[in-house]
Structure 1
Amino acid sequence: MSTTMQLHLQSVPARNGRLWIRHGFKVFQRQPVALAGLFGLFLFAGFVAMLIPGIGLLLTMASLPLLSLGFMLATHLVLQKKMPTAGVFVAPLKLTAERRRSQLLLCLGYAGAMLVIGLLSDWIDGGSTRDLQKLIAENADNEAIANAATDPRLFWGLATRMGLMGLLSVPYWHAPALVHWGGQGVAQALFSSTLALWRNKAAFAVNMLLWGALLMGVASAVSLVFALIGLSQVAPIVLMALGLMLSTVFYVSLYFSFVDCFMFGAPQDVLDEPKSTSPS
């Protein structure tokens, strides 16, 4: 796992954005329980961390770069016909001291940036998002929730939050993997990730559009079906389960976007020849 690989930045066609999703589903089908369990474990750990006063939220946000890299390592293990375990989340910290330091700096930088985004968004929306969340958590009456949801500041705060989070994801999309497998420093990894997404923006645009369409399609279909059979109250439970599954598939698919953008000896069909897809 400590070998530095030669990574070659390349351009891929837009249709590859669809293939990343397809490969993600195929790998998930090989180890659905193990992969879903990893995502569930991360969510549970995040919930526990959130209970820590003062630093819980920062710890959860700081762990997100390791979540994406952990699922890349888990996907690699599944392709090798091995069982992924929770060790994938700490494996990146067990390499050289230099790479461990770089990964921790990436995590701290991500948490700091997310904190700034949150503060800026709260300032723009005047706290309207927090007020709405509080009303929902307290099961307030529908009229109060509706009034809070129509606050015009809510839109601008949400737009700021989502826009800045989207921009932040660009340099961090591949950065942890570039540190882990490529041995790159923090600045180089962030720059390389940004360059890769820009060079392959058509593929990533297709990928994001398809994910959005898939999520909306699943939500609409489930709501409609359960409404027709008179079990609308069950729909949220089914949607939550499907949401967890699709989130797991999304993180699994990140591996294939990395392999595509930084091809390092991967065969054309990574699923047919799993043992030669990436560094060990």
Structure 2
Amino acid sequence: MEKLPASTGWLWVKQGFGLFRKQPGGMSMLFLGYMFCMLAVSIVPLLGQLLPVILVPVFSVAFVQGCLNIDQGKRVLPSLLISGFRKPAFPVLLGLGVLYILMAIVAIGASTLVDGGVLWQMVTGQLDQEAAKEAILNSNIGLAILTAIALYVPAAMAFCFAAPLIYWQQISLGKALFFSFFAVWRSLSAFIVFAATWFAISVVSSQLLAIIFGRSPLMMQLMMPLSMILTIIMHCSFYAAYRQIFGVPADASKTVSLDKPND
């Protein structure tokens, strides 16, 4: 894992757009299938609120596998959605999803020491709109948000490539988190440019729609497909980053474990 220059983050974004242009229909159908699956699991009694989050790593490998298919000249089909459900990756990816929830709870829970629990109550929906406005004015919610972000960013670095590493390299959860964290750390400037570029794209695209169509129902209707397309391209950009840092992956059943260093 070599250290990459900051400009590489912009190249990943460009490569993400390039991958999407090759099979926009296939990637869009994959995303729609993903949304349908998330809607289906959200209605499961008792676990409906947790399952969509826990299954994010499981379903996320479908998008990077779709990008690999594009690299290999293969079609992207909705059947890729079951990729993450195959063993031996499936139970490890589930564990990653559970850990994701736990880290989010820890980060937001720690913010209660700063604002007395206002941010926690807002996230969990315990405050209505009027109560939320009053609580925000009388609390240190800004500092609480910064505290939660400061605690969660290192976890996000560890989660960044953990799912594809588990799926393609077939390594343990701990090793996947370790490799992902240090991959991001070694090229932190590139990831800062990557995040800043995507933030700028999101803001500029939404503002352009607002300028052209105004704050109208049509503008809101157009925002939905635009957000979907940008989300898909962002997944493609993450694959481009993985490909440069860890190399082009082989089939999940034929990958070489990271346990053994390369010559």
| Interval containing the TM-score (normalised by the shorter chain) | 0.7 to 0.9
Q: Distance in 2 between matches of 1:24 and 1:110?
A: 25
- Aligned partner letter, 1:262: F
Return closer, same or farther for 1:223/1:88 CA change in 2, 3 Å cut-off.
Answer: same
Q: Secondary structure at the match of 1:11?
A: coil
Q: Contact 1:68–1:254 (CA<8 Å) still a contact in 2? A: no
Bigger RCO (CA 8 Å, 6+ sep):
1
Return closer, same or farther for 1:151/1:54 CA change in 2, 3 Å cut-off.
Answer: farther
The more displaced of 233-242 and 106-115 is 106-115
Return closer, same or farther for 1:152/1:180 CA change in 2, 3 Å cut-off.
Answer: same
Query: Does residue 170 in structure 1 map to residue 141 in structure 2?
Result: no
Query: Does residue 114 in structure 1 map to residue 85 in structure 2?
Result: no
Return closer, same or farther for 1:130/1:226 CA change in 2, 3 Å cut-off.
Answer: farther
Q: Contact 1:21–1:207 (CA<8 Å) still a contact in 2? A: yes
- Aligned partner letter, 1:42: Y
- Residue 214 of structure 1 deviates from its aligned partner by 0.9
The aligned residue for residue 64 of structure 2 is 72
Q: Distance in 1 between matches of 2:49 and 2:108?
A: 11
Q: Return 5+ residue gaps in structure 2 as ranges.
A: 252-263
- Provide TM-score, normalisation by structure 2: 0.81
Query: Does residue 182 in structure 1 map to residue 172 in structure 2?
Result: no
- Residue 151 of structure 1 deviates from its aligned partner by 5.0
- Aligned partner letter, 1:237: Q
The aligned residue for residue 198 of structure 1 is 185
Q: Contact 2:118–2:135 (CA<8 Å) still a contact in 1? A: no
Q: Secondary structure at the match of 2:49?
A: helix
Return closer, same or farther for 1:153/1:262 CA change in 2, 3 Å cut-off.
Answer: same
Return closer, same or farther for 1:36/1:164 CA change in 2, 3 Å cut-off.
Answer: farther
- Residue 41 of structure 1 deviates from its aligned partner by 2.4
Return closer, same or farther for 1:201/1:118 CA change in 2, 3 Å cut-off.
Answer: same
Q: Contact 1:61–1:114 (CA<8 Å) still a contact in 2? A: no
Q: Secondary structure at the match of 1:48?
A: helix
Q: Distance in 2 between matches of 1:235 and 1:122?
A: 37
Output aligned runs, 1:144-159, within 5 Å. 147=134, 150=137, 152-159=139-146
Return closer, same or farther for 1:183/1:214 CA change in 2, 3 Å cut-off.
Answer: same
Return closer, same or farther for 1:260/1:148 CA change in 2, 3 Å cut-off.
Answer: same
Percent identical: 23
Q: Secondary structure at the match of 1:57?
A: coil
Q: Secondary structure at the match of 2:46?
A: coil
The more displaced of 192-201 and 29-38 is 29-38
Return closer, same or farther for 1:83/1:161 CA change in 2, 3 Å cut-off.
Answer: farther
Q: Contact 1:128–1:148 (CA<8 Å) still a contact in 2? A: no
Q: Distance in 1 between matches of 2:67 and 2:197?
A: 21
Output aligned runs, 1:119-130, within 5 Å. 119-121=109-111, 125=115, 126-127=117-118, 130=121
The aligned residue for residue 261 of structure 2 is none
Query: Which of 90, 94, 97 is 1:104 aligned to?
Result: 94
Q: Distance in 1 between matches of 2:39 and 2:138?
A: 29
Output aligned runs, 1:137-148, within 5 Å. 147=134
- Aligned partner letter, 2:96: L
The aligned residue for residue 247 of structure 1 is 231
Return closer, same or farther for 1:33/1:188 CA change in 2, 3 Å cut-off.
Answer: same
Query: Does residue 13 in structure 1 map to residue 18 in structure 2?
Result: no
- Aligned partner letter, 2:46: G
The more displaced of 150-159 and 63-72 is 150-159
- Provide TM-score, normalisation by structure 1: 0.77
Q: Contact 1:129–1:154 (CA<8 Å) still a contact in 2? A: no
The aligned residue for residue 218 of structure 2 is 234
Return closer, same or farther for 1:52/1:90 CA change in 2, 3 Å cut-off.
Answer: same
Q: Secondary structure at the match of 2:50?
A: helix
Pairwise CA RMSD: 2.7
Q: Contact 1:39–1:248 (CA<8 Å) still a contact in 2? A: yes
The aligned residue for residue 39 of structure 1 is 31
Return closer, same or farther for 1:233/1:196 CA change in 2, 3 Å cut-off.
Answer: same
- Aligned partner letter, 2:14: R
Return closer, same or farther for 1:42/1:104 CA change in 2, 3 Å cut-off.
Answer: same
Q: Secondary structure at the match of 1:69?
A: helix
